[in-house]
Amino acid sequence: MKYKILIIATILTLLSACSQSAVSTPTPLPPNYISTVVGLTGQAAFATASALAPTATATSQPTETPIPTTPLPTATATFEPGFTEFAQIRFISPGPMSSLISPIKLQVLLVSGESQIVRVDLLGENGRILQRILEPVRRNPSGGVYRNFDLSFEIRAVSERGYIRISSKDDHDRIQALNTMPVLLYSIGNSQVTPLGNMIYERIMYEGLKDGDEVFGGVLNLKGRFWPVNTQPVFIELLLPDGTPISSRVLDFKGIDTESFETTLPYKVTKPTLVRLSIHQDNLDLPSDPDLKKYIYVHTMELMLYP
Structural domain spans, the chain: 82-202, 204-307
Domain 204-307 belongs to what architecture? Answer: Sandwich (2.60)
pLDDT for the residue numbered 34:
33
Quote the CA–CA distance of 291 and 217 in Å, as a whole number. Answer: 33
Stretch among 23-32, 50-59, 159-168, 184-193 having the lowest mean pLDDT: 50-59
Quote the CA–CA distance of 150 and 105 in Å, as a whole number. Answer: 5
| Range 46-64 average pLDDT | 32
Evaluated on CA atoms 261, 267, 272, 273, the torsion sign reads: negative
pLDDT for the residue numbered 81:
64
Residue 99 φ/ψ, nearest 5 degrees: -95, 120
pLDDT for the residue numbered 64:
36
pLDDT for the residue numbered 79:
58
Mind listing the pLDDT tens digit for each residue in 125-148?
888 999 999 999 999 998 899 999
User: Are 82-202 and 204-307 equal in CATH topology?
Assistant: yes
Q: Please give the share of the chain, as a percent, with pLDDT higher than 90.
A: 66
pLDDT for the residue numbered 165:
97
Look at domain 82-202 and name its CATH class. Answer: mainly beta
Quote the CA–CA distance of 196 and 76 in Å, as a whole number. Answer: 9
Q: Which of 49, 91, 55, 88 is nearest to 71 (CA)?
A: 91
Peptide bond into 94 cis (omega under 30): yes
Q: With beta carbons less than 8 A apart as the criterion, state whether 153 and 186 touch.
A: no
17 pLDDT band, cuts 50/70/90, is very low
